[in-house]
Structure formats: structure tokens, C-alpha cells
Structure 1
Amino acid sequence: MVGLKPSDVPPTPGVKFLSAGTAACIADLFTFPLDTAKVRLQIQGEKAAVEAAKNIRYSGVFGTIATMVKTEGPRSLYNGLVAGLQRQMAFASIRIGLYDSVKQFYSNGKESAGVGIRILAGCTTGAMAVSVAQPTDVVKVRFQAQLTLKGVERRYNGTMQAYKAIFRQEGIQGLWKGTLPNITRNAIVNAAELVTYDIIKETILKYKLLTDNLPCHFLSAFGAGFCTTVIASPVDVVKTRYMNSPLGQYKSAINCAWTMFSKEGPTAFYKGFVPSFLRLGSWNVVMFVSFEQLKRAMMMSKQSLECTA
């Protein structure tokens, strides 16, 4: 057995909720530079980004990371990390931690749920999570897009100052800017990610290709990351562009998508695909492996405390 063995007692909803948020934060700490590179590649081509970056051009995920380190220093790769961790504790706890509970609710408590029920559960928890955590996502994206160059005025100087500035300048709707495309994106991402992970893992265990341990979790998470990137990349690019845009640049998310298509062509929707996959693939691996182990560790601790009591 590789890693902790499964608990005899199924994890409680509370354990899943806390494990999901913690595992997502761990995954963010490892993969945040890839996410930042993805954001920079996605906004490249926008007028504001071109004017601010001047002669800076990003090419490929590792080229983008190298350029950022050279021009802005290594700390720039973690711009928005605080907001990112805040987002994961609010966001992943709901979308991943509550997935099984919502799946059981839709299937009337049945242990085995069909693909349709799983997709519905993933869409539901993804939409719920965005409704709660949207302000943290707006601040994270804006920090990642922000250049830290001499002579370039910084848009925000701190996480709390960013929340206040956005509220003061754009109102409550500014903090929830891009909620509709983000709900769309995360409903798709969550359904693709969790359902794919579920199905791959169950198939591996059903045919006894691997036991329920780290290699099984790794393969399931890697497959889920690739499928999710292919499905969600277009919506993700529109979400990033729209959330990062100044007030009035786009009338709506649909207008943002049409502007991208008419000015940059259909390939614009897959800008940053490689860093998106590297980020989602690696993020899924770290998150799901951590999630499975944290659930087991927490249940072991819970049972030990109950035995002691």
C-alpha cells in the first residue's frame, strides 16, 4: 500500500469540506507560477496590456516565466497568492468538498450514481462556489495581470486594498464582475474534473489495474486535468479577459468573446493552453492526491480521538 490506507468509516461531509480546501491551497502553492503565466498569455494582445508591457512579449509557458523573472523578479510569479489561497479555502471547499453530498442528494442516497447525476452535481457545486468566492477570484486575476515594473503604476498594492479599491471605484458589481462567465466556466470545469476523476478512478479499481492508493489517484487526476483543460479553455480565456478589463472596455462577457473572435480569431480562445494544461494537470495531481490522503489522515485522527474519549 502506498500512502495511508482507506478508512473503514466513510469520511464525513465536514472532513471532505476541510480536506478539499486545504488540499487546494497546497496545490496552489506548487502551481501558482503556472497559473500566473497562463493569465499573462491570455491577456496578451489586449490594448491595455500592450501599452503597459511596452516591448515585453511572452512566448510559451516557460518563456513567460523566464521573462517575468528577468523583468519583474521571481516574486512576480506569486502575484495574487494571498487572494488565491483565500479563493481556494472558500471555493474548493464547496465545489469539491460538497460534491459527494450533492451527488447523493440528487441520486436519493444511492451509492452508485449515473454520469448525468454526477455532471449535475458538479455543475451545482461549481456554481455555488463561484457565487461565494467570486471577489477573491477577481482580485487574484488582477494581481496576476499586474506588472511590477519601474515606471509602471501599480493598480493595487495589497489584497485588502484591492478589495476596497474595486468596491469604491466599481461598486459591489465590480467584486462580482464576470460572475456569469465564471459560473459557466466553473460549472464546466467542476463537472469535467470531478466526473472524469470519478470515472477513471472507478474504472481502474473495477478492473483491478491498481489498488486505491497514490498511483491510482495520480493517473486519475492527470487524466481529469487534461480533459478539463480541453473543455474549459475557451471559457477560461474569456473569463480572464473580462475580469481583468477596465470599467467599460467590454459590455458583457459575450461582447468580450465576440471582440476576441473578430480581432484575434478563434485561436485566441486557446491562448495559454499549454500553461493551462500544465497548471490544471499538475494542480489536479497535487490536489487529488493531497485530498485523498488528508481525508484518510483526518478520519484516523477522528477515530483515535473517539477511542481515547
Structure 2
Amino acid sequence: MVGFKSTDVTPSAAVKVFSAGTAGCVADLVTFPLDTAKVRLQIQGEAKPLIRGQRAKYRGVFGTIFTMVKTEGPTSLYSGLVAGLQRQMSFASVRIGLYDTMKQFYTRGSENVGIGTRLLAGCTTGAMAVALAQPTDVVKVRFQAQVRLPENGSVKRYNSTIEAYKTIARDEGFKGLWKGCLPNITRNAIVNCAELVTYDIIKEQILKYDLMTDNMPCHFTAAFAAGFCTTIVASPVDVVKTRYMNSVQGQYSGALNCAFTMLIKEGPTAFYKGFVPSFLRLGSWNIVMFVSFEQIKRAVIRCQQSWESPL
């Protein structure tokens, strides 16, 4: 991404991959409760549509968090965190860390990068990341969606991350771990383009017109805009992805059937269920991730320089 001057040491692809994966984990640790609330709101009404006048169990992002803490305990907000961190190390590292590499590949090293090339690079790294990290995403969503109510005698769907991988592979086959891969590729192509391209362009323009220097306020502004744009364009696909990946075997014949069922049973507004927590999560996630990414990247470069400098 833009920001480094010609006099600076340009970070290698390995540095960017490591920094992106680490920054993704930092962002997940901070925003995971918002993501869990978003998942609960997205699947609400799936198994049993709400009757007119019936009060929804989850109302709003903070109401959802309060209800979960009250009925399931505070640890429920971090259900699936292990899979979430595994996902970021394999997912964010590829889709964000290799973005600049893909831009250079498509432009054959040219510094003149157009919007089309940026979009193509974002789509490519997003698809690559999904192909690698899809099983971790499936397990994360399953954990976030399961309601833990021991007082009612309900049995948890999965007890541990390893058990979840094994159970899904045993009961649903190897392809069960890649359930929802197509809608997830679609979603992440959109997310990656909206996130990375928006951040890249806004940061570039801020620096070009000397509105800010290449520091935290600049990174914060570009990241906030990236989160807002991403939420608007990605929410419908995100809801379908969550519903389909959390579904039991045979519930939907495919992602399109899931989307059609939602439209018929719950109307078009169902595609924007959990929009507020999605924005709160994506906005805050982008801010934490991009600011962390920039700082970690520079810290690694400084460490490299100190190691390589003569004593």
C-alpha cells in the first residue's frame, strides 16, 4: 500500500504477510464480541420465523451482547475465538499481506496503478485467502451461533475447536469444512475490494494533497471510510454466508437457495440483519487492523535494520 517514501526501506512480501496476520489477530481480539453479536442477529428468525407482534430475543448490538452475557455468561462473547485467530493468521495474512504483490504482478512492476488493477488484486487475494482459510471460518461461525443454556439441559454443538473440525469432517464429509465457500469467495472479493481499495485510494489522496502526514490520524481516517463502504456493499452476502455456513445438513440446497428462502420467508430486509453490529465491527476492525498493520510493519522493518546494521 502507499505511504512509504523512496528513502524508506520497502517492506518485503514476507513482512507484509506476517504483519497482516498479526494485525488481523489484534483486531479480532478487540472486536470479537461485536462479530458474535452480528452472527446471532443474522441467524435470528432462521429456524423459527418471528410471529407478528412477537418480541425478538436479540434487539440491537448492545442488547444482544447484554442478553448473551445474562443468559450464557461473558465467555459466550468469545466463543470461537481460537478458530477466529486461526482464520486471521491464514486469511488476513494472504488477502492483505499479498495485496501489493498482486498489484505489482498485474502491472508488471509499474508504479501507475489504476482502479481496475486494484480491484483485480483485491479480488484475487480475497479468493486465495478463502480457499486457504474456509474451514476456520466455518468452525468460527458454528461456535458463535451455538447457544449455551446448560440450565435448560441443551447440549452444545461442539466442545472444542479440534472436535469441531473432526465432527464436521466426519458427519458432513470433507466438503463440509468448505461449506459456503462460493458465497464466502463472493463476499470476500467484495470485502477485499471495498476494504483494501478504499483504504488504498483514500490514504493515497490524503498524502497526495498533504491533508495529513503518513501517521495514525491518516490511517484512522482511511480505515474508517473503508469499514463504512465495506459494510454497505458486503452485508447481504455476509448474511447469506453466515446462514448457509451455520445451517444443518440438507437445510439449504445451496447458497442461492438460502438467499431465496430468506427473501421469501423474511423479506428483503433480512439481508441487512445485523447491519449496525456489522458496521460497528467492520469499522472498528478496520481501524484496529490497519493502524496495527502499519505500526507492526514499520516495527519489523526497524528490527530488520537493527539486526543488519554493524555493531
Using the size of structure 2 for normalisation, the TM-score is: 0.95
Amino acid at match of 1:284: N
Alignment of 1:195-210 (within 5 A): 195-210=197-212
Q: Tell me if the contact between 1:7 and 1:296 (Cα under 8 Å) persists in the aligned partners.
A: no
TM-superposed deviation, 1:272 = 0.2
Tell me: CA distance 1:86–1:48, structure 2 relative to 1, closer, same or farther (3 Å). farther
CA distance in 2, matches of 1:6, 1:143: 46
Amino acid at match of 1:101: T
Amino acid at match of 2:102: V
Alignment of 1:100-119 (within 5 A): 100-119=100-119
CA distance in 2, matches of 1:11, 1:38: 35
Amino acid at match of 1:92: A
CA distance in 2, matches of 1:49, 1:146: 18
Residue-by-residue CA offset, 1:235-278 (whole Å, 9 max, x unaligned): 00000000000000000000000000011000000000000000
CA distance in 1, matches of 2:148, 2:6: 46
CA distance in 1, matches of 2:135, 2:165: 8
TM-superposed deviation, 1:304 = 0.7
The residue number in structure 1 matching 2:88 is 88
Residue-by-residue CA offset, 1:138-158 (whole Å, 9 max, x unaligned): 000000000111421100000
Alignment of 1:68-87 (within 5 A): 68-87=68-87
Residue-by-residue CA offset, 1:85-119 (whole Å, 9 max, x unaligned): 00000000000000000011001101231000000
CA distance in 2, matches of 1:308, 1:32: 43
Work out whether 1:247 is the aligned partner of 2:254.
no
Q: Tell me if the contact between 1:104 and 1:110 (Cα under 8 Å) persists in the aligned partners.
A: yes
TM-superposed deviation, 1:308 = 3.7
Q: Tell me if the contact between 2:49 and 2:266 (Cα under 8 Å) persists in the aligned partners.
A: no
Structure 1 unaligned blocks of 5 or more: none
Alignment of 1:1-309 (within 5 A): 8-47=8-47, 57-149=57-149, 150-308=152-310
Amino acid at match of 2:38: K
Tell me: CA distance 1:153–1:49, structure 2 relative to 1, closer, same or farther (3 Å). farther
Q: Which runs of 4+ in 1 moved over 4 A?
A: none
CA distance in 1, matches of 2:112, 2:205: 13
Amino acid at match of 2:289: M
Q: Tell me if the contact between 1:7 and 1:299 (Cα under 8 Å) persists in the aligned partners.
A: no
Which range moved further: 235-244 or 105-114? 105-114
Tell me: CA distance 1:18–1:297, structure 2 relative to 1, closer, same or farther (3 Å). same
Amino acid at match of 2:252: Y
Does the residue aligned with 1:47 lie in a helix, a strand or coil?
A: coil
CA distance in 2, matches of 1:12, 1:84: 26
TM-superposed deviation, 1:7 = 7.6
CA distance in 1, matches of 2:199, 2:274: 23
Aligned length: 303
Does the residue aligned with 1:225 lie in a helix, a strand or coil?
A: helix
CA distance in 1, matches of 2:290, 2:8: 20
TM-superposed deviation, 1:217 = 0.1
Structure 2 unaligned blocks of 5 or more: none
Does the residue aligned with 1:148 lie in a helix, a strand or coil?
A: coil
Tell me: CA distance 1:208–1:77, structure 2 relative to 1, closer, same or farther (3 Å). same
CA distance in 2, matches of 1:245, 1:283: 26
